[in-house]
Amino acid sequence: MPNYIYDQLGNPVGYISGNYIHTLHGQAIGQISGANVHKMSGEYVGEIHDNMVVNTQKRDPERIGHRGDPGNPGFYGIPKNRGAVEPEYPVVFSQLLERVNYIDDSVNNFKQKLI
Protein backbone atom coordinates (compact mmCIF):
# COMPACT_ATOMS: atom_id res chain seq x y z
CA MET A 1 0.00 0.00 0.00
CA PRO A 2 1.52 3.33 -1.02
CA ASN A 3 1.90 6.42 1.15
CA TYR A 4 -0.47 8.98 -0.39
CA ILE A 5 0.20 12.69 -0.88
CA TYR A 6 -2.72 15.09 -0.35
CA ASP A 7 -3.59 18.69 -1.16
CA GLN A 8 -4.80 21.13 1.51
CA LEU A 9 -8.44 20.18 0.84
CA GLY A 10 -7.66 16.57 1.75
CA ASN A 11 -7.85 15.21 -1.79
CA PRO A 12 -5.28 12.59 -2.78
CA VAL A 13 -3.00 13.94 -5.52
CA GLY A 14 -0.20 11.37 -5.69
CA TYR A 15 1.70 8.74 -3.79
CA ILE A 16 5.21 7.85 -2.66
CA SER A 17 6.80 4.65 -3.87
CA GLY A 18 10.40 4.15 -2.79
CA ASN A 19 12.28 7.42 -3.33
CA TYR A 20 9.83 8.76 -5.90
CA ILE A 21 6.54 10.66 -5.97
CA HIS A 22 4.04 9.48 -8.57
CA THR A 23 0.74 10.77 -9.91
CA LEU A 24 -2.25 8.67 -8.88
CA HIS A 25 -1.89 6.84 -12.22
CA GLY A 26 1.74 5.89 -11.57
CA GLN A 27 3.78 8.43 -13.57
CA ALA A 28 6.94 9.45 -11.69
CA ILE A 29 6.98 13.22 -11.17
CA GLY A 30 9.35 13.78 -8.26
CA GLN A 31 12.22 12.46 -6.18
CA ILE A 32 12.57 12.35 -2.41
CA SER A 33 15.85 12.83 -0.56
CA GLY A 34 15.15 12.64 3.16
CA ALA A 35 12.19 14.99 3.61
CA ASN A 36 13.24 17.09 0.60
CA VAL A 37 11.20 16.88 -2.60
CA HIS A 38 12.72 17.51 -6.02
CA LYS A 39 11.39 17.47 -9.56
CA MET A 40 12.62 14.57 -11.67
CA SER A 41 15.19 16.99 -13.13
CA GLY A 42 16.66 17.50 -9.65
CA GLU A 43 15.29 21.00 -8.97
CA TYR A 44 14.23 21.51 -5.33
CA VAL A 45 10.48 22.02 -4.81
CA GLY A 46 9.80 21.66 -1.08
CA GLU A 47 9.48 19.11 1.70
CA ILE A 48 7.10 16.40 2.81
CA HIS A 49 5.10 17.67 5.78
CA ASP A 50 1.88 16.07 7.04
CA ASN A 51 1.62 13.99 3.82
CA MET A 52 1.72 17.13 1.67
CA VAL A 53 4.47 18.69 -0.46
CA VAL A 54 5.00 22.15 1.03
CA ASN A 55 7.35 25.10 0.53
CA THR A 56 9.21 25.52 3.82
CA GLN A 57 10.96 28.67 2.59
CA LYS A 58 14.47 27.18 2.65
CA ARG A 59 17.08 29.80 1.87
CA ASP A 60 19.60 27.58 0.08
CA PRO A 61 17.73 24.61 -1.36
CA GLU A 62 20.02 21.98 -2.80
CA ARG A 63 19.66 20.47 -6.24
CA ILE A 64 20.08 16.76 -6.83
CA GLY A 65 20.68 15.01 -10.10
CA HIS A 66 18.19 12.97 -12.07
CA ARG A 67 18.37 9.39 -10.78
CA GLY A 68 16.68 7.84 -13.78
CA ASP A 69 13.14 6.79 -14.48
CA PRO A 70 11.81 4.35 -11.87
CA GLY A 71 9.06 3.12 -14.17
CA ASN A 72 5.36 3.05 -13.41
CA PRO A 73 4.51 0.99 -10.32
CA GLY A 74 0.84 0.96 -11.28
CA PHE A 75 -2.51 2.35 -10.22
CA TYR A 76 -3.43 1.62 -6.62
CA GLY A 77 -6.85 3.27 -6.70
CA ILE A 78 -7.86 6.58 -5.20
CA PRO A 79 -8.35 6.82 -1.45
CA LYS A 80 -11.13 8.88 0.09
CA ASN A 81 -10.71 12.52 1.06
CA ARG A 82 -8.96 12.76 4.43
CA GLY A 83 -10.49 16.14 5.30
CA ALA A 84 -9.19 19.65 4.83
CA VAL A 85 -6.02 20.71 6.63
CA GLU A 86 -4.71 24.21 7.24
CA PRO A 87 -1.03 23.66 6.40
CA GLU A 88 1.74 25.54 8.15
CA TYR A 89 3.41 26.18 4.77
CA PRO A 90 2.13 26.73 1.20
CA VAL A 91 1.32 23.49 -0.64
CA VAL A 92 3.43 23.16 -3.83
CA PHE A 93 2.59 19.72 -5.22
CA SER A 94 1.42 21.36 -8.47
CA GLN A 95 5.03 22.39 -9.21
CA LEU A 96 5.84 18.71 -9.71
CA LEU A 97 3.15 18.53 -12.40
CA GLU A 98 4.39 21.48 -14.49
CA ARG A 99 6.55 19.39 -16.80
CA VAL A 100 3.98 16.58 -16.92
CA ASN A 101 1.27 19.01 -18.06
CA TYR A 102 3.63 20.47 -20.66
CA ILE A 103 4.29 17.01 -22.11
CA ASP A 104 0.58 16.10 -22.03
CA ASP A 105 -0.32 19.38 -23.79
CA SER A 106 2.35 18.80 -26.44
CA VAL A 107 1.04 15.30 -27.14
CA ASN A 108 -2.57 16.54 -27.28
CA ASN A 109 -1.64 19.41 -29.61
CA PHE A 110 0.19 16.99 -31.89
CA LYS A 111 -2.81 14.65 -31.95
CA GLN A 112 -5.11 17.56 -32.82
CA LYS A 113 -2.90 18.43 -35.81
CA LEU A 114 -3.22 14.86 -37.09
CA ILE A 115 -7.03 14.95 -37.02
- pLDDT class for 111, splitting at 50, 70, 90? very low
On whether the CB atoms of residues 56 and 65 are closer than 8 A, the answer is no
pTM of the model: 0.71
On whether the CB atoms of residues 75 and 24 are closer than 8 A, the answer is yes
- pLDDT class for 110, splitting at 50, 70, 90? very low
Please choose, from the candidates 59, 43, 55, 63, the residue with its C-alpha nearest in 3D space to the C-alpha of residue 90: 55
pLDDT tens sequence across 67-105: 777 777 777 778 888 888 888 888 888 888 876 544 444
- pLDDT class for 106, splitting at 50, 70, 90? very low
pLDDT tens sequence across 21-71: 999 989 999 999 888 999 998 889 999 999 999 998 776 667 776 777 777
Distance of CA 66 to the CA centre of its chain: 15
